[in-house]
Structure 1
Amino acid sequence: MAHYDVLSGDCSCDHLFKILICGDSSVGKTSVLERFVCNEFRRVTACTTGVDFMMKYVFVQGKKIGLKIWDTAGQEDYDAFTKQYFRRAQGILLTYDITNHKSFDNLTKWVQKLKQNVPQSEDAKVPIVLLGNKVDLDDQRVVNTSEGLEFAQLHNMSFFETSCVTALNITDAIFALAESILTEISPVEEEPIYTVQFGQVSGNFTERRLNCVSHHQTLLLSTSGSTMGEECGCGKCFC
């Protein structure tokens, strides 16, 4: 599979895709994101509170694609909060931990949650890639590869076993998802293209001005520990 990172600072792109990483707490969602975007792995990461996202620009099938990848909290305490971020998702990375069978058993709940909150239609399907993470801990494996493959086939998902420690299949899985999105999208379904400008820092709050290039609107975001999203008013700019 041919894919190339975009190394320049140019933020213009042909398409902008909104991708969600979902799954139970501590399955490695943040590590997947950081390994793909930053090519880094941290042994210890704090649990995500609410949601956060990172951007990466890549070439897929000759087109420059902006991947806006959202890292969602797996704890039920944040369930009501994170559901709103499922809206207008164009691709899903559904993740479990091969050393934790409960995280695999809970995939059925996640699938139901996605069906309730991510619109699907015959004309516009939202592709899902299933990740069996932490294969570097194969000696502690409790979920067999065959179980993950069977679940993926049952729910029409692509399937990869991954490791954020070794970077095994992280890039291939996300590019496979991006390619699937590219075959499903129509112009009206795309995420609006925007830029973020960082402003004054006051205490624990960083003022950020978000410019919606697609709809010529501007709004302010304030963050403190987790990302809070707003809309510019066009009804399509859920950031």
Structure 2
Amino acid sequence: MNTAEKFYLPVDGIFEMFDSLTGHHQAHITHQVLQSTALTSALQHPKVSNISKTGMGIIKSVRGRWRQHDKRAASSRSSSSGNRQVSTDRLPKGSVDLLDLGLTKPKNCHRVVVLGAQRVGKTNILQRFLGKEFEERYEPTAEDFHRKLFHIRGEAYQVDLLDASNERDFPAKRRLSILTGDIFLLVFSLDDKDSFSEVCELLNEIKAAKAKLLKLKNPARVPAVICGNKADLEAQRVVSRSEVAEILGEGVSFFETSAKDGSGLEGMFRALASLGGLPAETSPSRHQIVSIPTYQSLCIGQQGRRGSRTRGPIGAPCAAVDPLARRPSFSSDLQLVLGSSTKQHKPERCQIQ
């Protein structure tokens, strides 16, 4: 028999591989692998005429198990956030960008860039801002990007959170992240003096990069908040408040926080909002979390009321975390930076390197 006329599905180990992938992202990879190694291969070879019933049965079985896993993951995320479970059919197919959808203004979209040494608690601080709980287990962060959408006093706001701390070995990439940032959160640990030194260097780097972009002769003033985390470890403390004030100056926005017990975080979040021109209700304690479909209906309903004479109630401040948020491409970030540089007297090449 001609081997080109018969399709053989690689069966060995397929269920073992599927069962070993427990995360949502990993299950998505499994689904893609199955499609690319089986169905796509069959479609790309017109001579393949038949797939055995056993092979089709395995494909359907694994697909069914993947869908069940996806539903359980969605249910778990919904219950952990304390929200009413929403049908996955109503969820958006991709990341929600309010500006692209015409649901907000450019001045209401901000990017917060988070920088600092490893193991200082950046991820847990971001989780607190997103309305989630402290996670004791440490996992190194390659790159985290989150998007939180707010509906406050009839206005829609979008806050992107980029943890770019792992870009220290990629200067051009980190510089691009810095140039696209509107607000900066620099985090060090109060029990680690080296992490404080790194924050001081980062602050100078940000000022120099922004000054070069804006063609300033002196270092630029940047909206940055310095966070000394792990204040709950008072016995291990090696960086004092007076030392921070002496090195960074009295005018810097500095907060001692604990991502573990929550102390100091509220003031820090309010400072971030103030520096970025955001409403005070963007602080986690000042709004309730809703689902993405509920949030979208609020925005669309608000737009509909703007044209009417009788305006309905605005409602309490609320926010939604986009579960499908993805970091914008580097090409779009580069275009954003180039657009900023051309606002000067003449367009010039963006200094990324």
- Taking the TM superposition and a 5 Å limit, the aligned residue runs for 1:1-239 are 12-14=103-105, 15-49=108-142, 51-58=143-150, 64-74=156-166, 76-119=168-211, 125-153=221-249, 156-182=251-277, 229-232=329-332, 235-236=335-336
Unaligned runs of 5+ in 2: 1-82, 84-90, 279-325, 339-353
Percent identical: 26
1:131 Cα deviation after fit: 0.3
Report the secondary structure of 1:136's partner residue. Answer: coil
Report the secondary structure of 2:245's partner residue. Answer: helix
Distance 1:112 1:175, change over 3 A: same
1:43 Cα deviation after fit: 0.9
TM-score (norm 2): 0.46
Rg larger for: 2
Report the secondary structure of 1:236's partner residue. Answer: helix
**Corresponding letter in the other structure for 1:47:** P
Distance 1:41 1:89, change over 3 A: same
1:59 Cα deviation after fit: 6.3
Would the aligned equivalents of 1:88 and 1:118 in 2 still touch at CA under 8 Å? no
Distance 1:234 1:103 in 2: 29
Would the aligned equivalents of 1:58 and 1:65 in 2 still touch at CA under 8 Å? yes
Distance 1:59 1:160, change over 3 A: farther
Choose between structure 1 and 2: higher helix proportion: 2
Would the aligned equivalents of 1:60 and 1:178 in 2 still touch at CA under 8 Å? no
**Corresponding letter in the other structure for 1:166:** D
Deviations 1:6-38 (A, max 9, x none): x9x995445011111111121111111111113
Choose between structure 1 and 2: higher strand proportion: 1
Deviations 1:165-207 (A, max 9, x none): 0112223312312212218xxxxxxxxxxxxxxxxxxxxxxxx
Report the secondary structure of 1:130's partner residue. Answer: strand
Report the secondary structure of 2:144's partner residue. Answer: strand
Report the secondary structure of 2:149's partner residue. Answer: strand
TM-score (norm 1): 0.65
1:86 Cα deviation after fit: 1.2
